[in-house]
Structure 1
């Protein structure tokens, strides 16, 4: 059987969205939608596609997990020496996308990512499961390895070194994304989707507008 991808489509009709429905602050509005996604038991509601641009000018994206929303910033954690870490060293601007198909919703966030304070990374790292903390030491993220056995061996080695308390590796920590553009997308029938955009003004404050789908 040949699958015709052009014939795959869904009609969205669950909810509507307008600028009048939205809070003045986009992060507060995002928290409402995130809580609704969690309450609806959306699969992986905190999963977000993070796109960055490296020093070579090439964009790359991957799924990471949102680990906090604090003081208007979105937090995630990773290996600073990974491909995304190196890209953020070269260019701190990122684009983030959340997609919650069960609610027919998407959120796009653009802004600048900065490393969080070491004590913030320390606190989050200490909250991770023991094996995940070992994994942060064992994996030289994004580097080429000869086999899975390399990871297993390195994890065992660090487990022997740190049988109880695992300190945070210096190459691992968090980023806080400060948004300057946020878009909320609600699927609607006939592809006449609702799109509400927040754009940060130069003098502060947010400009809300409706975008064509």
Structure 2
């Protein structure tokens, strides 16, 4: 973490010197006044300057991207990371070879990595930063697959007039199923079980 300890005739002057040395704006730093300035005898002898510590605030997104980059490298995967800013948050899209290893079974490795990336980003962040992790469009492909599955199983529930229980899914994927079937006539959905074995049940009305 970059920081400097500087002195000046006044606190403001010392802060300005620190900002110039670090080449940053005032809103990018934390400022600690180590010593207030003191006037000397008759304003001439024995005076002391102001001393301040100017420390650059950590950049949550930069910290998260460094962590992600290092983790991918340690996994032995050759990949690049592209940042996108969307209304729902920051997206980091990973592309490269052997991406399947990074995604894992039903996206479990990708989900775990996303969790860790968010922990790193928000460790020193003043406000919560939501980061979404994707790998070569996996999230969108998975969403489409889940919506297709939801329609197929809702048809089965209507045809057999019996409840249909899906495999266990995480909260995000369960939400996709609930949303896909919320306006389908003749069926309703609810979640059953405890994490990590919580699943959706499709019920014919």
TM-score by length of 1: 0.23
TM-score by length of 2: 0.24
Q: Which has the higher contact order (CA 8 A, sep 6+)?
A: 1
Which has more radius of gyration? 2
Q: Which has the higher helix share?
A: 2
Q: Which has the higher strand share?
A: 1
